[in-house]
Structure 1
């Protein structure tokens, strides 16, 4: 056979192979499960399915009956931007170099492939709405359809507005617009694009769809109807804004609770022997007009009436999101998508409701680091609570594993998919988190990084001098140790007791070895 015929024949056969591979890949992608990826901002494990008998969360609780409910799930940093960057890249804060609210992983790692980008590469159509990345710095390149909003929020005056700051009081909204204008005139790069909070709470008697999270639930259900017509699986990310401050929710959810009967924090005081850099007090409350007297970094000084109002607002906001979740999952079923959709519901970090004399997040305490995480995979035969230690950084590889697509080599978490079949497996020995303190908020003007490690019994934290430019932690300045078996609320730091020094040494060595040596043994 002449050379040119051999070449043409080879090219033809090669084309057939490529075509066959493409058809196979398309068929494989079409058969893969969809992903419904639901984040809830500032949601701590304060749900009925986590043992709280006071809060009203019937839809979370119903979903938990067909999902695995992880009771020992931990975020990598107890504040939005670093936690979400870690989830969406599968990398830890020291790798993304996002340690605070201003950090931007895309500037630090321009070519990093996020979770939805990776699913797109494997045949998925990816869509986002609500708060997935930190809201004022969304990563639009991650999605085929980024940052969808309900139509009524797409007007010129609302398109650049932070949904967290929406009130129904028109006078208050107008005042916030004026504040923003003044901030931007003073500093064009003002944090959160200049938006501010008004009041800490608002109850308004209107349908759920008149509130942002209710409206975007309706949009998500409409989008599901559109996505099911595509000949490819979808990855739909929906980020709920509540229960983030301000606590704005329909009146009917406020009416579920008697404010005077709500149980308040049993430990409204700093942990005994706590180092000065460990507590943040109530950073976010200062942004609310009605709580301007709250000073930082001292312990938050709220009256009982103010504290009850905040807890009431938090609970009402959680119940509102619970209703949104129930409506969304009902819509998924009505569209016939429930049998072939992975569903993940997660909170980005915990939140204090007066514990340790403080509010909000931004510490290394368990109350801020432990998060709700519920996962359902099609065909899952077991459900219920799983007490194994898992981390939010594990979500990226877990979803890849569940969808049958390749797990990237650079992951700094591990797939916990086996736990959905056998929740009693011997799993990770520890979870690793961190939080930094800047001179702006520390009483002594120091800059520190708190390195946290939670084992099956102990919570160990090292505070070190920290260089925010290089990201290098230096000299050890303080240590915390909590025995969660006898002190689950972490009220006493026992690191300084002589009898615990062998344990402190052992845990220090384990922390130094790092997360790589805490992975489950295959």
Structure 2
């Protein structure tokens, strides 16, 4: 599907830049990434408790992928490798740095678009290094070079063409409990302005100044709904914790400790989890989602006011999901669907309206999909598969099975019916098998249940095939997991 063709009409000037025009107007692209929003958190896609009118409208005007996944993470800060995957179209075993830096030969989405004449701009969270940021974007404002922070006082940076970013400031992030100093890039703080408002307003201001001489790619990366979960009072008041439904798979404790109990996400509540505490966290979580939904609506309104809406592809996705009480967990350091499935909506020119796709996809398939949508070559370094055939034909299946991991502790795979999860805990392997048709909430472990003996070795073979195809053991976490797996497997 070719939306526009880019044509040089002048020889290159001495500074390496040329003058260009378009035979047809290539669409603008806005990539909106949120932090921690699991699948099942959009009203129009089935969750009637949550208020998301603007994401509902985006789903109505576009196509929603209801089986979009991340392949997991190599570190507890899952967002870092996850966002690196989005912007490289590669799986997470490609970087020993877990995505803190990206090698020069891994073409970034922003780089590929710049080479085709796009103006590239970013605001919000960037967890993948300053040099990588400048390779991706020709401009930026109010950039947060970190993982998480107080939403009301975010240290942000201006774009630095020299890539020096020598604006390091000292912070004590929790002065009530400790006096250790964190060093962060920071040009300023807007005291009392919520991160969601700050980043959305920055995006809107940039759109106001946009002249339309070249198509643009905007990367808008919210920190919401990551904890600390505190939205403006208007949104918090929309949800009464006492009226929030608990997840069907809520339990007070995970059936076994697989080495994540002391991770920061998991210590936000005491063990065992209490129903009232989980309801409160879900209410706060929903409030933050409704807050960024509101700001996304204002950005869409600005696109319409500027006459840009009809020629802009909007992509909405999350970098990973979140347990938030499911399976006795709070965080995303696991391979259950609540943590590896994410919302993904594409809307704009060339994209079917008000349609669903249930083909298995990864979030790093977005990069090649955008290349196909605007008619440019997919870089050779990209490993993802374009979703364009699925967009054009809902009967197309992009993948028959998927693979997941978490650090050196968990590996999982699923086909269209069954999911196998294996954990290494000390010198013991724990195995879970779920029938996703009968048990989508992954509550009933069928391992050792009569009648499923042939399924487990098939899925184990599938898991090991992914391991080899992805060259997983080049990564320290992959090497450690599989060495232990071979050692302790019965």
Q: TM-score range by the shorter chain?
A: 0.7 to 0.9
In structure 2, do the counterparts of structure 1 residues 460 and 29 end up closer, same or farther at CA, with 3 Å as the change threshold? Answer: farther
In structure 2, do the counterparts of structure 1 residues 23 and 377 end up closer, same or farther at CA, with 3 Å as the change threshold? Answer: farther
Superposed CA offset, 1:367-407 (max 9, x none): 10000000113133443211111111111111111111110
Superposed CA offset, 1:393-440 (max 9, x none): 11111111111111012222100012222222233101222111xxxx
Partner in structure 1 of residue 3 of structure 2: none
For structure 2, the residue ranges without an aligned partner over 5 or more in a row are 1-7, 154-170, 187-191, 471-490
In structure 2, do the counterparts of structure 1 residues 50 and 16 end up closer, same or farther at CA, with 3 Å as the change threshold? Answer: closer
Superposed CA offset, 1:336-361 (max 9, x none): 11111111000111111211112121
Deviates more, 1:34-43 or 1:427-436: 427-436
Superposed CA offset, 1:167-221 (max 9, x none): 48xxxxx97374799323xxxxx6x8599xxxxxxxxxxxxx9422112212211
Post-superposition shift, 1:479? 3.1
State the distance in 2 between where 1:401 and 1:40 align. 24
Deviates more, 1:331-340 or 1:263-272: 263-272
Post-superposition shift, 1:58? 1.0
State whether residues 180 and 194 of structure 1, in contact with CA within 8 Å, keep that contact through their aligned partners in structure 2.
Answer: no
Post-superposition shift, 1:28? 4.0
1:375 paired with 2:358, answer: no
Q: 1:452 aligns with which of 406, 412, 417?
A: 412
Matches within 5 A, 1:394-405: 394-405=365-376
Post-superposition shift, 1:36? 0.4
How many residue pairs match? The answer is 435
In structure 2, do the counterparts of structure 1 residues 164 and 329 end up closer, same or farther at CA, with 3 Å as the change threshold? Answer: farther
Partner in structure 2 of residue 283 of structure 1: 263
Post-superposition shift, 1:138? 7.7
For structure 1, the residue ranges without an aligned partner over 5 or more in a row are 1-14, 151-158, 169-173, 185-189, 196-208, 295-299, 437-447, 467-474
Partner in structure 2 of residue 56 of structure 1: 51
Matches within 5 A, 1:422-437: 422-436=393-407
1:212 paired with 2:195, answer: yes
SS class of match (1:500):
coil
State the distance in 2 between where 1:110 and 1:275 align. 41
State whether residues 434 and 451 of structure 1, in contact with CA within 8 Å, keep that contact through their aligned partners in structure 2.
Answer: yes
In structure 2, do the counterparts of structure 1 residues 449 and 412 end up closer, same or farther at CA, with 3 Å as the change threshold? Answer: farther
State whether residues 164 and 244 of structure 1, in contact with CA within 8 Å, keep that contact through their aligned partners in structure 2.
Answer: no
1:83 paired with 2:78, answer: no
1:143 paired with 2:103, answer: no
In structure 2, do the counterparts of structure 1 residues 211 and 23 end up closer, same or farther at CA, with 3 Å as the change threshold? Answer: closer
State whether residues 36 and 342 of structure 1, in contact with CA within 8 Å, keep that contact through their aligned partners in structure 2.
Answer: yes
Superposed CA offset, 1:316-336 (max 9, x none): 111101101111111111111
Post-superposition shift, 1:139? 3.0
1:166 paired with 2:163, answer: no
In structure 2, do the counterparts of structure 1 residues 370 and 269 end up closer, same or farther at CA, with 3 Å as the change threshold? Answer: same
SS class of match (1:165):
coil
Post-superposition shift, 1:136? 7.5
State the distance in 1 between where 2:306 and 2:290 align. 24
Partner in structure 2 of residue 11 of structure 1: none
State whether residues 431 and 515 of structure 1, in contact with CA within 8 Å, keep that contact through their aligned partners in structure 2.
Answer: no
Say which structure is richer in helix.
1
State the distance in 2 between where 1:512 and 1:312 align. 40
State the distance in 1 between where 2:437 and 2:207 align. 44
Q: TM-score, normalised by structure 2?
A: 0.79
In structure 2, do the counterparts of structure 1 residues 29 and 140 end up closer, same or farther at CA, with 3 Å as the change threshold? Answer: farther
Deviates more, 1:339-348 or 1:30-39: 30-39
In structure 2, do the counterparts of structure 1 residues 421 and 232 end up closer, same or farther at CA, with 3 Å as the change threshold? Answer: same
Matches within 5 A, 1:237-386: 237-269=219-251, 276-277=257-258, 280-281=260-261, 283-285=263-265, 291=269, 294=270, 300-386=271-357
State the distance in 2 between where 1:499 and 1:125 align. 57
Q: 1:234 aligns with which of 216, 239, 257?
A: 216
State the distance in 2 between where 1:17 and 1:252 align. 54
SS class of match (2:453):
helix
1:477 paired with 2:429, answer: yes
- Which structure has the larger Rg? 1
Post-superposition shift, 1:459? 1.4
Q: 2:441 aligns with which of 472, 476, 489?
A: 489
State the distance in 2 between where 1:351 and 1:380 align. 28
RMSD in angstroms over aligned alpha carbons? 3.6
In structure 2, do the counterparts of structure 1 residues 310 and 120 end up closer, same or farther at CA, with 3 Å as the change threshold? Answer: same
Partner in structure 1 of residue 173 of structure 2: 176
State whether residues 459 and 481 of structure 1, in contact with CA within 8 Å, keep that contact through their aligned partners in structure 2.
Answer: yes
State whether residues 40 and 347 of structure 1, in contact with CA within 8 Å, keep that contact through their aligned partners in structure 2.
Answer: yes
State whether residues 364 and 450 of structure 1, in contact with CA within 8 Å, keep that contact through their aligned partners in structure 2.
Answer: yes
Post-superposition shift, 1:262? 0.8
